[in-house]
Structure 1
Amino acid sequence: MDKKSFIVVQGPMDYFKQVKESYVDFENVIYSGWKTDLNTIKDEKYFIINKKPLTRGHLNINLQVKSSSAGIKLTLKLGATHVLKVRSDMVFSDIKLLLSLCDDSSVYFPAVCTNTKESYYIDYFQYAPIETMIKLWSIPMKFKQFSKMYPEFYITNHFIKNVKNVNVKYLYPICKEHNIKCFWLKRGGGGHI
């Protein structure tokens, strides 16, 4: 089976012009945003306007889960075999090269954070086979705030409990080795990861 990768850009489309330009050579891009983004993304080939959850959740976890899972579910309907889910305020200097360097069976996170009591996967973007991404983002909404844990803890805990027998690899080392820049537009865009 040939690999058919999609990119799901999730979140508010405040940096839509820069994001769109960075993926201009990539055919399968889905924008998963909110009602306030309708005029911005309505002319795109693939877009989703999500209804916001009843509550945003601690540090917007419900918003992240809603827009990520909706975009990933659409990729499944469109025949994706693999998905890169990325925040709507981040871009890569060479997305095609990055995806070509990922193997077909692993799940990729940017990195793992180990400078806290409990380690967690950084949640800015992930790449994996579609089945893994569906499981990863089938996270129940958080309507009560049980703790002040970062969303990454919820995502990591859900991943560990629900996604079995997969290799975890990291994208930051690949980016560094191949001089692929990742720009965080919300943080000024000038710095890169």
Structure 2
Amino acid sequence: MEALKFKTLTQESEIETYLEKFEGFVGVKLPYDYSMRSTIVCAYKGESMVGGYMLVTKPEFRSLMFVPDTVKNSHAFFQNDQYEMMEVNGVWISSSIKSALEQYRIWTHMMWDVFLARKKFILLMADLRNSNIRNIHNMTNPETLYEGAPMLMAGTTSHDKIRVSVTTRWQMLMNMPKYYLAYRDRVRRSSKRAKGREFNRMVREAQS
């Protein structure tokens, strides 16, 4: 099995390809200027992009743009300096990555990069229909800031319903064992399914 390699994208052509991959994966087109001021880390297998994430370490933050003003005016969190925040966005993993270990490697690589950014608050945004991303976010013990329809400006696109939440880099680090347990559970389930398929094959052969 070819090993995963991680690369920070700097070439415009690479970034454009990454954005196309992300749009195809989640159905949302991220603004080009927003993406160009982000740190985009891509996972490769050979020459193929198979996943990655974007780290935004300076405002303006896309997730907060979708939060209604009524929430911003009433929630104490929004009194914090935005330069103490960062945002994780543009997360995707190709359907070709079926190995639980490879998926675990991508997530842990992202968590470590977030920790090294040394920001006090980590902003997370999820499509409420995407249970996988929601479950991963939940492992960071986040506080929900807003859940509902996004506040869209003209020309912007997003999911029908979103959840914007906040956690800290220490929460992400301390909850790393949860990611490992989830990985081990997936390995066990995958092994069980494989054994079930093998058993069914043996039964069919015995009956033929």
TM-score computed with the length of structure 2 as normaliser: 0.30
Higher helix share: 2
TM-score computed with the length of structure 1 as normaliser: 0.32
RCO comparison, higher one (Cα < 8 Å, 6+): 1
